[in-house]
């Protein structure tokens, strides 16, 4: 049985994707939205499958019904506040590989944005 982990966390996320996409589509007099391109940071705890699950329900009857969601994951990049070393953490260990400091700045990896949409217009 291929069960999908569903958490409530993704519902408001899916709703905001829909809202942003519909607003952009209406501004361009779109007939329908065919594709939506999303950028999601690796540290953002968002499960693609869950968004897709909600998406099919909440987009029904809107311009975005049947639109394909494309997920692009932005790799985590951290900056050590003690030795100024920029790095990509390996696994769950976010500490600085050079000096071992846990005082880090998250430079990249928490993004969540609608990057672009593709529409069919009249």
Positions in the binding site for Zn ion (CB under 5 A): 80, 82-83, 85, 96, 98-99, 101
Which pair of tokens denotes residue 91?
A: 């696994």
**Considering beta carbons, is residue 51 or 89 the nearer one to Zn ion?**
89
State the minimum distance, in angstroms, from the CB of residue 44 to Zn ion: 24
Q: Which residue has the tokens 């519902």?
A: 11
In a 10 Å sphere around its CB, with 0-12 CB exposed, 13-18 middle and 19+ buried, how is residue 111 labelled? middle
**Considering beta carbons, is residue 63 or 96 the nearer one to Zn ion?**
96
State the minimum distance, in angstroms, from the CB of residue 78 to Zn ion: 9
State the minimum distance, in angstroms, from the CB of residue 79 to Zn ion: 9
Q: Over 2-47, what HEC string results?
A: CCCCCCCCHHHHHHHHHHHHHHHHHHCCEEEEEEEEEEEECCCCCC
**Considering beta carbons, is residue 53 or 87 the nearer one to Zn ion?**
87
């Amino acid at each position: 049985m291929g069960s999908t982990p569903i958490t409530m966390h993704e519902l408001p996320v899916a709703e905001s994707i829909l809202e942003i996409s519909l607003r952009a589509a209406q501004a361009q007099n779109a007939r329908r939205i065919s594709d939506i391109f999303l950028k999601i940071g690796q540290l953002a705890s968002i499960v693609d499958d869950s968004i897709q699950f909600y998406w099919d329900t909440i987009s029904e009857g809107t311009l975005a019904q049947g639109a394909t969601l494309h997920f692009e994951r932005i790799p985590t990049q951290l900056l050590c506040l003690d030795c100024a070393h920029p790095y990509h953490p390996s696994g769950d260990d976010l500490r600085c590989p050079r000096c071992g400091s846990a005082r880090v700045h998250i430079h990249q990896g928490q993004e969540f944005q609608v990057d672009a949409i593709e529409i069919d217009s009249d």
